[in-house]
Amino acid sequence: MNDTTGPGDDVQLITLDVNGTSHEVITAPRRTLVDVLRHDLRLTGTHVGCEHGICGACTVLVDGLPVRACLMFAAQAEGARITTVESLADPATGELGDLQRAFTAHHGLQCGFCTPGFLMLAQGFLAERPEATKEDIREVVAANLCRCTGYQTIVEAIDACATARRSQRATGAEEESCN
């Protein structure tokens, strides 16, 4: 994986809001968001695959919307709310979030390389479209590449999580579970 800083690049101070925490980073203007997340902030849950916008392994949320972090300069994300896969688990206990548990329960991953990208794609999508059908989900996950699962289990996992969230909203339950 290539870091996008080159020799002799000018640097600038930028402030990034990541998972609710503000970070000051000194970086070159053309450095990508994914490089700053992984190399400067050590948030290595966001993966890098193709580095040119095809695979979706680097998907994070920017102001709630899924974005390919290899296609965005870190400086462009200043002032926005950036959310990475690290936000899904409970920060105090490390307990996995409902969407992560659903991926586990429904075998939505094998090697796991693509998984952070699918999780963030799904998290952004379900926030926007909580009533999404399985067909809607199938269409959305086609945006990212997985070489292992054949996609069906990923669709099942996201659909199970969406269904559980809907039922919890309906019953007013506070605890979320997709298992």
Interaction of residue 50 with ligand FES, rule CB under 6 A? yes
Smallest separation, CB 89 to ligand FES (Å): 19
Interaction of residue 100 with ligand FES, rule CB under 6 A? no
Q: How far is Cα 43 from Cα 18, in angstroms, rounded to an integer?
A: 10
In this chain, which of 49, 97, 116, 124 binds ligand FES, going by CB under 6 A?
49
Q: Which range binds ligand FES by CB under 6 A, 3-11, 103-111, 124-132, 164-172?
A: 103-111
Q: Applying CB under 6 A, what is the total number of residues that bind ligand FES?
A: 22
Q: Which residues pair with 26 in a beta bridge?
A: 13
Q: How far is Cα 128 from Cα 41, in angstroms, rounded to an integer?
A: 28
Q: Which range binds ligand FES by CB under 6 A, 45-53, 87-95, 130-138, 169-177?
A: 45-53
Q: Which residues pair with 16 in a beta bridge?
A: 23
In this chain, which of 5, 12, 76, 110 binds ligand FES, going by CB under 6 A?
110
Q: Which range binds ligand FES by CB under 6 A, 8-16, 48-56, 120-128, 131-139?
A: 48-56
Residues 6+ apart with CB under 8 A from 123: 61, 83, 88, 99
Q: Which stretches of the chain bind ligand FES, using CB under 6 A?
A: 48-51, 53-58, 68, 70, 109-114, 146-149
